[in-house]
Amino acid sequence: MPIVPTDLFPREFSQITGIVYSKVKICFDVSCLAVTVFMTWTFLGHLKGLGVGTVLAAFTMGKVIGWIGGWMDRHVEFVSCMEKEEIKRKRPQNYAV
C-alpha cells in the first residue's frame, strides 16, 4: 500500500524515537495546521477556506489511524514482493498475504 509523504514522516519518527504513532501523528498534523494558519493569515490576511472539519481532523486522525493500524497488524500481514521465496515458504499457512 502506498504511503503519502505526510504519513511517512510521522511513521518513521515514531519508529526511531519509540513514541506512540498516534501521538506523533497528532502533533505533526496540528503543527502543519498551525503553519498553514500562520501562512494564510500572513500572506492573504484572512483564514478563508479553513473549516471546522480540518481542525477536527488534525486533532483526531492520528488516534483513528492508530486504532485501524493496530487492528490491521493483528489480522493482516503485508509482505514485500521483493521478499525471498524461501522466507515465504517458512511462514505459517494461517497468515494472510
Distance of alpha carbon 28 from alpha carbon 10, whole angstroms: 7
Distance of alpha carbon 77 from alpha carbon 67, whole angstroms: 16
Distance of alpha carbon 9 from alpha carbon 48, whole angstroms: 28
**Cα 41–chain centre separation:** 27
User: Which stretches of 3-97 are assigned E, i.e. beta strand?
Assistant: none
Q: Do residues 79 and 39 make contact, with C-beta atoms less than 8 angstroms apart? A: no
For the whole model, what pTM was predicted? 0.67
Per-residue pLDDT of the chain (97 residues; tens, 9 = 90+): 566 777 788 888 998 999 998 899 999 999 999 998 999 899 988 888 788 898 899 899 888 888 888 888 888 877 777 766 655 555 555 555 4
